[in-house]
Structure 1
């Protein structure tokens, strides 16, 4: 009987936690993808760049960003890094405040060519499941799109 009660409590807590907040992810394609004048590198054909990006994404642990947080590099590994790009306060769009996270290549940038591999725009002062944040980076990279995460 105790085991049954414990299982019921676990299921209820899990169900409540899963349904208490709804998260939304919206894709905005980057046009053109890759090349001169683009906002994002097309890594779909580069196994080496994808592997480096996937490694840093897997180790990324941040699930929220304050509107008041200063921009800068959050994490660096080998040939890539994740930066908080925008100014303190983020930016406003559709009545919400956002922060701009970018997965970028390290090293010198070729003039006119992007260094950004993935872009995740995350609603500031909100907490998201880390799996959703990581998936947004992977989706951005795989689909050559900016991913907007909101609640």
Structure 2
């Protein structure tokens, strides 16, 4: 009986969602994990609490400078925001992944890196530059966001040719390059991520050339919610190209 009691205590200690002593994991949105970063269906995730007090599972990194799939970040691309509103790092020339910071507790306290990010609240403070209402009374909103977007005027005709070929059959959950391609440009799906119980897709039009450090090859970038129509995705690509900014598309 005593052995059984000891076994149950050990089982509780190993299975409880306690954090490793002295280590804090952050999600790809910058929120603090309430438990260790653990594998979940081939991806690393942890439970976190948003500003509304709700628990949700978000991407995280099992080790410092590793992405949410357990891939090592490039030496010249450590895990950080790099101008985005989420944490990411580059894995190789053509691939990037979401990541989360892994810090010693003392370092977290000193630098104040633990924050709570509520995308739903942030979106309320933004005003869309365009809104479209469809026959089912759904409203699609277009938001402009700053990003490192290359001036794409010299490739505009080529880019519009790719955009006109777009259909939503190209959407998938995994990052995929060369969805649509010409001699000079290509459309890449950089990946997808969950936000507010909806999946979002990160789509980019890129130049077909090797990217040197700190150089952008992106001439259009859109973040689109699942359920956005093909016409509105094509419009978002063109708006991003013309505005030289990232465009986020929401459906309500």
Task: Give the TM-score normalised by the residue count of structure 2.
Answer: 0.42
**CA shift for structure 1 position 63:** 6.3
C-alpha separation in 1, matches of 2:162 and 2:190: 17
**Equivalent residues of 1:26, 1:148 under 8 A apart:** yes
**CA shift for structure 1 position 81:** 0.6
Q: Which residue of 1 aligns with 2:142?
A: 26
Structure showing greater radius of gyration is: 2
Higher relative contact order (CA 8 A, sep 6+): 1
Q: Which residue of 2 aligns with 1:138?
A: 238
Report which of the two has the higher share of helix. 1
Mark the CA change 1:72 to 1:64 in structure 2 (over 3 Å): closer, same or farther.
closer
Give the alignment of 1:52-63 within 5 angstroms.
Answer: 52-62=158-168
Mark the CA change 1:103 to 1:138 in structure 2 (over 3 Å): closer, same or farther.
same
C-alpha separation in 2, matches of 1:95 and 1:145: 26
Gaps of 5+ in 2: 1-133
Task: Give the TM-score normalised by the residue count of structure 1.
Answer: 0.67
Match of 2:151 among 30, 37, 42: 42
Q: Which residue of 2 aligns with 1:149?
A: 249
Gaps of 5+ in 1: 1-17, 32-38
Divergent runs of 4+, >6 A = none
C-alpha separation in 1, matches of 2:248 and 2:242: 15
**Equivalent residues of 2:143, 2:249 under 8 A apart:** no
**CA shift for structure 1 position 62:** 2.3
Match of 1:123 among 225, 230, 237: 225
